[in-house]
Amino acid sequence: MSTFRNYVNGEFVDAADGRTLQIVDPTTGQAYATSPLSGAADVDAAMASAAGAFETWRDATPSTRQKLLLKIADAVEARADELVDAECRNTGKPRGLTKSEEIGPMVDQIRFFAGAARLLEGKAAGEYMDGMTSIIRREPVGVCAQVAPWNYPMMMAVWKFAPAIAAGNAVVLKPSDTTPASTVLLAEIVGAAIAELELPAGIFNVICGDRETGRLMVEHHTPAMASITGSVRAGIQVAESAAKDVKRVHLELGGKAPVVVFEDADIAEAVEGISVAGFFNAGQDCTAATRVLVHESIHDAFVEALAKAAAETKTGGIDDEDVLYGPLNNANQLAQVSGFIERLPAHAKVEAGGHRVGEVGYFYAPTVVSGLQQDDEIIQNEVFGPVITVQKFTGEDQVVAYANGVDYALASSVWTKDHARAMRMSRHLDFGCVWINTHMQLAAEMPHGGFKKSGYGKDLSSYGFEDYTRIKHVMTAI
């Protein structure tokens, strides 16, 4: 059994009371490691470490912050194989895809925020009142309590700590209770960079634990900001807890992305792009292409082609060949995905999949369901599994109503050759991102975040960086 430990003030430590959690390999369903089940004493220690470091780190020059992040990026790149091994053992993801699709973007994102550290923006200083000069200061907010999810453990850790550190904040980061492995390794990498530059050790801290640990972090008096990527339920709880002492909150929550396919779309291209974007990472992605809306004139041909693509898509172990995705993350998630299929209404039709794969691990077949109606449970609620639903529509007004007719508003896509139509749809779709003739592509320079119950605040981009800063007006008589 491997043992993961908290990282506090530059040292790896066990939980103060010695409690642990079992970490399960989702390809086998068997425990392979333990991690700390951190309590109040552990949260206190991590927050004290971060608060102490912040007193110095807040005054570090942008070039110093950049230097640290660039060193971290280089180290992540150099230790890519170790990170991939840890991530894949903990999540069951295919090794090759994890290295090619995650390490490069992670390194690029860290380097982007290294650059953002030196590009602080604000209004020009000047005389906006007679006899007075005003300037704007952009400052770090303070200690940030951050909670990362289990679907992309190491990449989401980067999305959390990189902008926060770039802005001059100190971090206490908690990985999901099921996926601490790569985050603990990142702590070693980040800690080594901090030590080499002789910076305060408490800039970056990691504590492992469960929902109670996260609650203790958010409710702690030290953090000035709480950031979470997770479910709507978890986001609401964080917002309620943070409201008690008016903490800033950054929420990236669930999604139910509409994928609108018009009659002029190339069916083969659309099916190829949508099937990958729907099944990648076992559909465990808030932006996954899981809710397809197809024009009635091409509906039947599209469903047939999508079902064929699903049947040809493979799920399997870490080192299996030609595998697009691995298992679902945990037994509860397998039960959730299975439950949606078991509760399908009579008018729904399973065109492909709809069942568990094998008896070992948490694998689920690529699934396509047609014949659905707008108020069906599987249309309104996030499945977070390798399940693509298909509805038909007749015109733009109807499809906009269908697309926007859910509580989520994170991502969407439109598939058409008509540029004017694509522009109209991008205006009317009530989602934080609209892709056109593609889906689930991300750039470090562009913001990621939603509306409604998908949360608020942005990840990536200069907007994500600014979320970790505060604005101060300074006025002086002249």
Helix (H) or strand (E) holding 287: none
In angstroms, what CA-CA distances link 283 with 151, 287, 441, 452? 9, 9, 15, 21
42: number of Cβ within 10 Å? 26
* 198, HSE (Cβ side, Cα atoms, 13 Å): 0
Who's near 148: CB < 8 A, 6+ residues apart? 156, 157, 160, 173, 174, 175, 176, 183, 229
What's the length of the chain? Answer: 478
Which ranges constitute the DSSP H helices of 297-361? 299-312, 331-342
Who's near 427: CB < 8 A, 6+ residues apart? none
Helix (H) or strand (E) holding 81: helix 80-91
Helix (H) or strand (E) holding 24: strand 20-25
Strands (E), 30-119: 30-36
Query: How many whole angstroms separate alpha carbon 267 and alpha carbon 306?
Result: 9
Catalytic (active site) residue 88: no
Who's near 326: CB < 8 A, 6+ residues apart? 26, 27, 88, 91, 92, 93, 94, 282, 315, 316, 317, 318, 363
In angstroms, what CA-CA distances link 126 with 133, 139, 193, 470, 471? 5, 19, 40, 20, 16
Q: Which two tokens stand for residue 85?
A: 């091994």
Q: Which two tokens stand for residue 18?
A: 């010695």
Query: How many whole angstroms separate alpha carbon 278 and alpha carbon 23?
Result: 27
Q: What does DSSP assign to residue 34? A: E
Who's near 363: CB < 8 A, 6+ residues apart? 27, 315, 316, 326, 327, 328, 356, 357
The CA radius of gyration of the chain, in Å to the nearest whole number, is: 23
Query: Among 286, 351, 382, 433, which one carries the catalytic annotation?
Result: 286
Catalytic (active site) residue 433: no
Nearest 5°: the CA angle 260, 262, 265 is 110
Q: Is-contact 25 32, C-beta < 8 A?
A: yes
Q: Which two tokens stand for residue 20?
A: 């642990």
Query: How many whole angstroms separate alpha carbon 377 and alpha carbon 139?
Result: 45
Query: Among 102, 144, 208, 252, which one carries the catalytic annotation?
Result: 252
- Which residues are designated catalytic? 252, 286
